[in-house]
Structure 1
Amino acid sequence: MSQPSAIPVVERRDDGNRYEILVDGKRAGLTAYRDRGAQRVFHHTEIDDAFAGQGLASRLVQEALTDVRNSGKRIVPVCPYVAKFLTRNGEFADLVDPVTPDVLQWLDAQLG
């Protein structure tokens, strides 16, 4: 498979509670969240198989977390990929709130 010709672009889609990464205008992946007051609770990240192995998940999460920092919110990493990213990238450590039973119960209610 050839490399994408365009630089991937990350966009926040508030109407869908997610950040998307686009390659040549096509959605290659997403990281989904729900806002809980001043917290942005990340609960799922995925990259389409056709775009696997290109480092897109890391770029997507990096840009999403930078947006969270710029918005003044805090990060709650329920998503295993986001949690793993945070352990490897200490630059966001000051923004991370723990995943608690209350957060999980709230998230379950939000997601139905």
Structure 2
Amino acid sequence: MTEPATEPAVERRDDRHRYEILVEGERAGLTAFRDRGGQRVFYHTEIDDAYAGRGLAAQLVGQALADVRAQGKRIVPVCPYVAKYLTEHGEFADITDPVTPDVLGWLRDGKPA
């Protein structure tokens, strides 16, 4: 009998400043962030081509944003995918801050939080 496929799992990797989505133990994608005080600034999301078309990016970002809420932080969506996700999921509007030139400069210059 074949074992059923396990559900994808999302893990926060603070040591790498990202959330990863794992499919059967293999990393299928990530969303990268940097913390700026009480803000979590998301700046990049990717899903490996081998896992494309499975809805993994939405699952990854949704769980990452729920984790941000649970930590009492706010979201800054520099990443276009995260920004698009937020337009479709209004439940995070109360913890979302706008992307400002100040945030973009901070992110570009690599200043620690």
Q: TM-score range by the shorter chain?
A: over 0.9
Instruction: Give 5+ residue unaligned stretches, structure 1.
Output: none
Please show how residues 24-35 of structure 1 align to structure 2 within 5 Å.
Answer: 24-35=24-35
Distance 2:38 2:82 in 1: 18
The equivalent of 1:47 in structure 2 is 47
Residue of structure 1 in register with 2:58 after alignment:
58
Q: Give the TM-score normalised by structure 1.
A: 0.94
Residue equivalent to 1:84: 84
Identity percentage of aligned residues? 72
In the TM superposition, structure 1's runs of 4+ consecutive aligned residues that sit over 2 Å from their partners are none
- The answer to whether structure 1 residue 98 and structure 2 residue 110 are counterparts is no
User: RMSD between aligned alpha carbons?
Assistant: 1.2
Structure number with greater Rg is 2
Residue 19 of structure 1 aligns to a residue whose secondary structure is strand
Structure 2: give runs of 5+ residues left out of the alignment: none
1:11-26 counterparts in 2 under 5 A?
11-26=11-26
Q: Verify: 1:72 aligned to 2:72, yes or no.
A: yes
Give 1:5 deviation, angstroms: 1.6
Q: How many residues align?
A: 108
| Whole-angstrom CA distance in 1 between matches of 2:45 and 2:53 | 15
When normalised by structure 2's length, the TM-score is 0.93
SS of the equivalent of 1:98 reads: coil
